[in-house]
Copies of this chain bind each other. A is one copy, B any other.
Amino acid sequence: MSTENNDKLIKDLLARVEALEEQMPEDRLALGVMSGDLDKTIAAFIIALGAAAYDMEVDIFFTFWGLSALRDPKKRAKKDMLGKMFGIMLPNGAAKLPLSKMQMMGMGPKMIKMIMKKHGAKSIEELIEDAGKYGIRIHVCTMAMDLMGIKKEELIDYPNMQFVGVGTFVDIFSKAKQCWFL
């Protein structure tokens, strides 16, 4: 082959490598927390923290029932009628989340928490605090907030909590290496 031919081939390779670099999923984990179950929310934070320890960037998107985990029982917000109804029906904060199984009228979550404490496992409140320290980003679905009448003022203090729409979430997960819903 001639040098000119090589010039062409190299130019073509460069363009293709650039395209590949553009398409390559980033070293990021995107989690969607939707269930509002204690066990699933704990799992989300344990995995998020595990991934952060492996230097992955982690984004957690909270929507629907998942929002309950972010409510701060010590805070209040002005709400309309429907918002008040939801406010009463939805668990008021991470400490009040139900289990996805063996709820047993509140006995299940108490039992799980007792066992976790006995084994020196961190509580959900501590896991959330750790997540903030490790730079795990929390994104709150504004559509779900609107629907359930949940206000920013009643949410926990968390570093750089973002309030986003579906478009932003699509943007986040489409670049992530992994994304899943819990």
In the complex, which of the residues B14, B65, B82, B181 contacts A9, with contact meaning CB atoms closer than 8 Å? B14
Name the prevailing secondary structure of the A interface residues: helix
State which of A22-30, A70-78, A128-136, A153-161 sits at the interface with chain B: A22-30
Is B23 within 8 A of A34, CB to CB? no
Q: How far is the CB of A9 from the nearest CB of chain B, in Å?
A: 5
Residues of chain B contacted by A34 (CB below 8 angstroms): 39-40, 43, 182
Contacts A13-B10, A40-B34 given; indicate if A119 touches B146 (C-beta within 8 A). Answer: yes
Interface string of A1-16 (1 = CB under 8 A from B): 1110011011001101
In the complex, which of the residues B13, B39, B147, B173 contacts A13, with contact meaning CB atoms closer than 8 Å? B13
In the complex, which of the residues B6, B54, B64 contacts A167, with contact meaning CB atoms closer than 8 Å? B54
Residues of chain B contacted by A170 (CB below 8 angstroms): 47, 50-51, 53-54, 56
**A17 contacts chain B at the CB level, 8 A cutoff:** yes
Residues of chain B contacted by A14 (CB below 8 angstroms): 9, 13
Is A147 within 8 A of B25, CB to CB? no
